[in-house]
Amino acid sequence: MLTMNDVIREGHPTLRKVAGKMTLPLTDEEKDLADKMLEFLKNSQDPETAEKYELRPGVGIAAPQVNVSKRMIAVHVPSDDPEESEPEFSGVLINPKIVSHSVQQTCLSEGEGCLSVDREVPGYVPRHKRIKVEYVDIDGNTQKKRLKNFPAIVVQHEIDHLNGVMFYDHIDPDNPLALPDDLEVLGSAE
Ligand code: NB4
Ligand code: NI
């Protein structure tokens, strides 16, 4: 299983590289990594397992974060309806590409963090409120998904890692908590 020891931290050059496209079909090693990335997220969201293996909770992870500079991400976004056991969006996205997005931007009220950043970096991280993402799933099928709000923010954070971009690159250094009137804060109106 993947643990925090496998997660590289800021300063490691791989986090600033543009990751390479994956060729299909995936090798068994790549399939194994895909499974391990998704398993890591599920483990990290299970209080017992997270505590036992000292995992920081995560809703997303990108292959470069485990020092594999390839365009693969995993997301496991639980539904925000406690009754709903099914996750809102969960899976592995290979060669993900945002093919269109809204003009409207949104951000998380609490800002963002990153498993590769061992410090708090306060500030709003503007993201597209709605995106259409095209990717190949673990079975080799091309998928097109429309996402909005939290799942859309998670996928954008992960795709940034594939392009060597860190969440704090989007924070206004002069006024981190600036709220331009066209920037909606998720959790406020929603
Ligand atoms: C990626 C996210 C940071 C902002 C917002 C949040 C968590 C991450 C980083 C957008 C993407 C990891 C990957 C969480 C979390 C809410 C859901 C369900 C029950 C606990 C879990 C906590 F863990 N960020 N961590 N950071 N990244 N929400 N949740 N909860 O996932 O660096 O590149 O289990
Ligand atoms: Ni991250």
Q: With cut-offs at 50, 70 and 90, classify the pLDDT of residue 190.
A: very low
CATH homologous superfamily for 4-186?
Peptide deformylase (3.90.45.10)
User: Is 75 close to ligand 1, i.e. is its CB under 6 Å away?
Assistant: no
Listed in sequence order, the residues at least 6 apart from 115 whose beta carbon sits closer than 8 Å to its beta carbon are 4, 7, 56, 58, 61, 65
Report, in this order, helix, strand and coil percent for the chain, each rounded to 5.
25, 25, 45
Per domain, the residue ranges of the chain are 4-186
Burial class (CB in 10 A: 0-12, 13-18, 19+), 15: buried
Considering the entire predicted model, what is its pTM? 0.97
Give residue-wise pLDDT tens across range 110-154.
999 999 999 999 999 999 999 999 999 999 999 999 999 999 999
What pLDDT, on a 0 to 100 scale, did the predictor assign at position 24?
A: 97
107 is in an annotated binding site: no
User: Is 161 close to ligand 1, i.e. is its CB under 6 Å away?
Assistant: yes
What pLDDT, on a 0 to 100 scale, did the predictor assign at position 187?
A: 66
